[in-house]
Structure 1
Amino acid sequence: MANGFMYILLCNDCTYYTGSTKDLELRFIQHQTGEGSNYTKNRLPVKLIYFEEYDRIDLAFYREKQVQRWSRKKKEALISGENYLLPELAKKSSEIKFSYPG
């Protein structure tokens, strides 16, 4: 049985919200009723489009923080199950961050 979840919501304005929780069903209801977070409260309705289960909540939280740093394209590859794209998208992200004018 899962003790933690990392999840991604699609907000009404087509942005993504990434979070973690011990109770996915309750947390989704909280988001839908405007009680989940300030970010989603202003972007209702939201749709649960992806989640991962973890044995411990701290692992779910760690994964949440990892995915929050990802680009939109990398999140979309994860959501669509195209995990083979993740390493290449990570390279492109680091190239952008560390490119120097020259």
Structure 2
Amino acid sequence: MIARRDYRLHNMDQGGRCRTSSERLDAAKVWVIGNVKFQKQEQQKMNYTYLLKCADDTLYCGWTNQLDKRLKAHNEGKGAKYTRARRPVSLAYYEIFETKEEAMRREAAIKKLSRKDKLKLVAGSPL
């Protein structure tokens, strides 16, 4: 299971409805990575801070505005230098932000955490 925290102002409930309106997600605009559903519109506007679990059991933290493409790039060896020699990688945790500055700030904060604290994030425990 992938842990996720959503810091968007207008996020979706479990029924696929926006909390600010009753519109349903268009099924053609939804795709799945692992067991997580994404929305095309969300990918274009949102910024993500994420943790990857590498093949050697280490964790890598980064940020992006297109999570699916970034994960694919990491696994193709076109992502960060750190993950190239540690493939395959899998998405372990992510958070969604409105702005890239918020995502970058959170990335810096997560990188300062100990491995133990990062694993707590992945497990879904609050810090």
**Structure 2 length normalisation: TM-score?**
0.64
RMSD of the TM alignment (CA)? 0.9
Q: Which has the higher helix share?
A: 1
Q: Which runs of 5+ in 2 are unaligned?
A: 1-41
Q: Which has the higher strand share?
A: 2
Q: Percent identity?
A: 37
**Structure 1 length normalisation: TM-score?**
0.79
Runs of 4+ displaced beyond 4 Å: none
User: Deviation of residue 51 (structure 1)?
Assistant: 0.4
User: What is the letter of the counterpart of residue 93 of structure 2?
Assistant: Y
User: Deviation of residue 6 (structure 1)?
Assistant: 0.3
Deviations 1:51-89 (A, max 9, x none): 000001110111001000110110011111110xx2xxx
**Structure 2 counterparts to residues 1-102 of structure 1, below 5 A:** 1=42, 2-83=45-126, 86=127
What is the distance in 2 between the residues matched to 1:60 and 1:31?
Answer: 18
Aligned length: 84
Deviations 1:10-67 (A, max 9, x none): 0000000000001000100000000001000010000101000000111011100100
